Amino acid sequence: MTDHPPGSTDAPTASADATAAAADAATAAADAATSPGDAPTSHLEPSRPHLVLASGSPRRRELLGRLGVAFTIRVPDVDEQPEPDEDPVAYVERLARAKAKAASATATAHPGEVVLAADTTVVLGGTILGKPTDEADARVTLRALSGRTHQVHTGVAVHGPSGMTSSVTTTSVTFRELGRVEIADYVATGDPLDKAGAYGIQGDAGRFVARLDGSLSNVVGLPMAQTAALLAGAGLATVTWGPPRSP
C-alpha cells in the first residue's frame, strides 16, 4: 500500500504545485500497479511469501491454521503407492516432496510462493499400513495394532524460490488390548476409513492409546515444530511453535 502525502493548508506556490503534481502522478502509477485484479488471494503480509498447503486433509488444515499464517489450498494428484520394498521413512519423504513439487508446477502457481506438503503412514513390524479398503480391512488392521507398539512417520516438504527442503518425524504409539466389540463399534462410526492405520488419534481412537513417545501432532498428520522450522527456512520467519506458556 502507498501512503498518500498530507495536503498543505498554506497557499499554493508554483513549486508546491509542481511537487503536488509529481506526487499525484506517482500515486496514480502506484495505484495502477496494485490494481484489485493483481491482489494476492491470501491475507499474508506483502513481505511474506504466498503459502500454499498441498493437502485436502481437514486435520492438516486445522493444524497449519494454528501457526497463525494465512494460506490457500491446492491438492495435487500424486500416486501414493509405495515402491517395492521401499523403506517407510524414505516413502513418506518421497511422497511429501512429490506432492510439493506437483502443487508447485500447476497453472495456478504464483511466482515466489511457498508450498507445504506432507504424507503420513503407520508402520507395524516394518509393514506400511495404508488406509483401509473397507470396514473389514479396518477391523483387521485394528486387531493387528491391539496391544502392540507401532510407528507413525510423517514426511513434510517445503518448496519455495530457494528450492526444496524436507524432514521426517517419527512417533511411537502403543495401543492397549482392544476388544472385538469396541473395534467393531469404532469402525461402524466410519472414522477409520480415510486414515492411515485405520484410526484417528484426535477422535474416539484416542482412548486406545496406552503410551505415546514423540509428537502428538505428528500422529494427527502434521508435526508442528518441524513444520514451523521448515517454513521459517523458506522465508516465513515469523512462524513459531512451542509448548503453551504457564499463566
Per-residue pLDDT tens over the stretch 98-156: 999 999 987 677 778 999 999 999 999 999 999 999 999 999 999 999 999 999 999 99
Question: In sequence order, what E strands does the chain have?
Answer: 51-53, 72-73, 114-124, 127-129, 149-160, 163-175, 209-213
- How far is 44 from 104, CA to CA, in rounded Å? 18
From the candidates 10, 87, 119, 185, give the one annotated as an active-site residue: 119
- Report whether 13 contacts 34 (CB < 8 A): no
According to the model, what pLDDT value does residue 13 have?
38
Judge whether 119 counts as a catalytic residue. Answer: yes
Distance, CA of 131 to CA of 153 (rounded, Å):
14
How far is 155 from 81, CA to CA, in rounded Å? Answer: 15
Confidence of residue 195 (pLDDT cuts 50, 70, 90): very high
- Give all domains of the chain, ordered by start, each with its CATH number: 23-233 (3.90.950.10)
- Mean pLDDT is lowest, of 75-84, 142-151, 172-181, for 75-84
β-strand partners of 211: 174
> Residues 213-241: pLDDT tens digits?
999 999 999 999 999 999 999 988 544 55
Contact 186, 146 (CB under 8 A): no
pLDDT score, position 240: 54
Q: What is the mean pLDDT of residues 1-14?
A: 37
Contacts of 135 (CB under 8 A, 6+ apart): 187, 188, 193
Partners of 184 in the beta sheet? Answer: none
